[in-house]
Structure 1
Amino acid sequence: MNGLGPSSDTALSPRAAAPDGVDDGVPLRIALVTPILPVPYDKTRGRYIHETARALSRLATVRVFLPQVRYLRLPGLAPRSFLHGEVGPDYTLDGIDLEPYTYPGIPGVSRATNGMVGGHALIPRLRAFRPDLVLAYWVYPDGYAALRASRRLGVPCIVGARGSDIHVRSGINAHLTRKVLAGADQVLTVSEAMRAAAIETFGAHPAKVRTIVNGIDTAVFHPRERAAMRAQLGVDADVRLLVYVGRFVESKGLMELLQAFAAIAGRDPRARLALVGDGVMRRQLPELLRAHGIEAQVYLPGGMEPTGVAEWIGASDVLTLPSWSEGYPNVVVEAIACGCPVVVSDVGGAGEIVRKGNGLLVSPRDPAALERALEVALDADWDRAAMAASMRRGWHDVAVDTLDACTRVLAGFRASGR
């Protein structure tokens, strides 16, 4: 199977001797492998995978494996697109059984081998856990590692794609992504747009690709009284506040956002922008704000837990996400659930969320179009209660759908005699 087929190792699942089907009264044992989880140096990273894992852990026996590349310290070589750090084996996250581990790599240089090396590091950990099935979120290198390890142990593997692990692939990454999607027993995507990309761009078999849309925590993301939120956050009551929530990277459209906001702020002294998050551009931001002359009109509260994010959304007039690419931008759903209209790039699954009553779609990488849409959104009369009522899918729903996918794949795997 593209070099990722089964080996001669004996299957290690505790259900190995069970007949076909999985309804034997024993909770499914799922090994969830992902590098994308909240960490102290990037609290917003992988929030949605954490929520999925936490909800799934209430329905099955789940151990979450957190692979981390331990990069060699070489001058001039460092990851450029994300904040890099490392958590120890004692790191914990609320509601999940977590096992962090590391494997060696060299930034850029080891890209082609990270999947293989990561797989070698994962195999003994899976063997100790004895899963029925492996579920990996992030196609390459971690989905590749999970697929190799699952085949070695004789259990099925589902790979979930989140966004840029499909949309932003080129060269060797694209080639290896194609191998993973072809070899997995099932592929999960978070939007129909991503499903189409997996099939049309990477050749995944349509019958093996299933969309499971993310949910939200409705106990956190709900309408809040704007004046109270502003008073709590130290924001003047009469400003027109835009909010961005996400990583501080160029591909999220931050340069276009700053240009668009500077034009709006030049005409309207009441305009304000809150940039909630963290990322590789954080050190560059103060200089960029000074260059645009907007440093006094921009809030930088940093990376936040969901409650803090919800408070900033609740204080704002409009949320914007001008990304170059997205899978299923969950912060957009969270904003709408809070009754906050959105201005979002028309990429990935954004068009499956944004409609006439809750926001505007704009072309990516177009600061003039973004500026116009933000002005329209700030001036429009939105039915905030109606938009909030339209977003009620929770993480339990996601977990139920995910467990159903796992159960079906495991039953098919057993029926095939593998």
Structure 2
Amino acid sequence: MKPAEERKRPIKVCHLITRLIIGGAQENTVYSVWGLSQGGRYEVCLASGPTTGPEGTMVPQVVEAGTWYREFPGLVREIRPWKDLCTLWALVRFFREERFEIVHTHSAKAGILGRFAARLAGVPVVIHTVHGWSFGGYGSRLNNAVFEWLEFLAAHSCDAMIGVADAMGVEAERRRIASRSKFRTIFSGMDLRRFTEAARDGALAERLGITSEDRVAVTVARLFPLKGHEELLEAFPAILREEPRAKLLWVGDGILRTQLVARARELGVADRLVLVGLVQPTEVADYLALSHVLVHLSHREGLPRAVPQGFACGLPAVAYPLDGTPEVVLPGQTGCLVEMGDRPALVDAVVGYLADDVRRRADGERGRSMVLERFSIESMVAGIDRLYRQLLAEQSADGR
């Protein structure tokens, strides 16, 4: 293989992800594909399984942008042995036919099948990005053991792994999946200007019933299990007793919507809960600009994109100290970390920001400065490009 600098034709790369729903991992992947496609060095394909359901889809945006897109009908989240085997061989054939030099996988299912398929197809360079692990304290012991075993095998079927936070490599080494030396931390890039320039939209606020007197705690997440909406809702009556101007603004949709609305009515707080529903990533900043603090209580997240997005809008964050979150939510500087299940601490943290404008603005500005240094799309793409060049050069030196 010739070194990348000596080549005249583009390097063929395939990014593979399980679904292209509206979510953080998907946005990261799409921005990576678009960024790498600029300049002519890489010819990039984006492949995924079918994308259906209440979480929305980014497929139309990808297709309209002219991205080389390929869908594999059998690539689904659920474990279906026969379908998974058929999809594995479909990926092997595709990688061989297109003669990709790099396969870069994302998410659990696509990451496992994609890495195995790439190795079977003889792809020279195989990389996986960990956006968040598929195991943890919320799953059964058997499921966790199976996923850890599969992740161990897949980790040894690739050349390098990218973590969206240092915590991804730390956890991999702790569970003996892979050594930290196999990891590179590349923060998830986003269109920061959209957030730093966002301003309060009076018409949008009026449509949502948000007044200038309200103090808004915003959550940007799918209404799905393990996202923490239930914990925040149960704490909200106590928040309202301390800060009667408080409102919850939830951006996102999902299968728990009906259940959460019913519970809000039972708690007597439905009139202080604003559910926006599903919005496109380009619209998220408009809702953050109406808010005072971002509350992100997900139980499972590599490094939640909503947190740096909130920082870019000048919002401090309240979150659980899980995965990569403590790397950006710094107590007393950019936000507040509360232990899962500690409702009084959650109440105090949220009320503290809603009631104290001086503290809120100071922590929000520190968060904004951090984000501008670390989370641009350009920085993310440059980091991926450097890794690609390094691995291609190593393969060339090895004669592969």
Distance 1:318 1:105 in 2: 35
CA distance in 2, matches of 1:249, 1:284: 11
The Cα of 1:210 is off from its aligned counterpart by 1.1
- Give the distance between the partners of 2:185 and 2:83, measured in 1 at CA: 27
Structure with the higher helix share, 1 or 2: 2
CA distance in 2, matches of 1:105, 1:273: 33
Q: TM-score, normalised by structure 1?
A: 0.83
Q: Deviations over 1:313-369 (max 9, x none)?
A: 110011100122321111100100110111111111111111223211111233332
Equivalent in the alignment of 1:279: 254
- How far apart, in 2, do the equivalents of 1:84 and 1:313 lie? 19
Q: Deviations over 1:229-276 (max 9, x none)?
A: 634754111001110001212211111110111221245432110111
Partners of 1:94 and 1:257 lie apart in 2 by: 38
Equivalences for residues 9-408 of structure 1 within 5 A: 18-20=1-3, 23-38=6-21, 42=22, 46-59=26-39, 60-68=42-50, 92=63, 94=65, 96-103=67-74, 107-108=78-79, 110=80, 116-138=85-107, 140-155=108-123, 156-165=125-134, 167=136, 170-226=144-200, 228=202, 230-231=205-206, 233-355=208-330, 356-380=332-356, 381=358, 382-383=361-362, 384-392=364-372, 393-408=375-390
Letter in 2 for 1:53: V
Paired letter, 2:69: L
- Paired positions, count: 384
CA 1:94 to 1:284, structure 2 compared with 1: closer, same or farther past 3 Å? farther
Mark the CA change 1:164 to 1:275 in structure 2 (over 3 Å): closer, same or farther.
farther
Q: Answer yes or no: is the 8 Å Cα contact 1:21–1:410 preserved in 2.
A: yes
Distance 2:382 2:77 in 1: 39
Instruction: Rate the CA distance shift 1:30–1:335 in 2: closer, same or farther, 3 A.
Output: same
Q: Against the structure 1 CA distance between its residues 105 and 24, is the aligned structure 2 distance closer, same or farther, given a 3 Å change threshold?
A: closer
Give, in angstroms, the shift of residue 102 of structure 1: 0.7
Q: Once the two structures are aligned, what percentage of the paired residues are identical?
A: 26
**Alignment gaps of 5+ in structure 2:** none
The corresponding residue for 1:3 is none
Distance 1:207 1:113, change over 3 A: farther
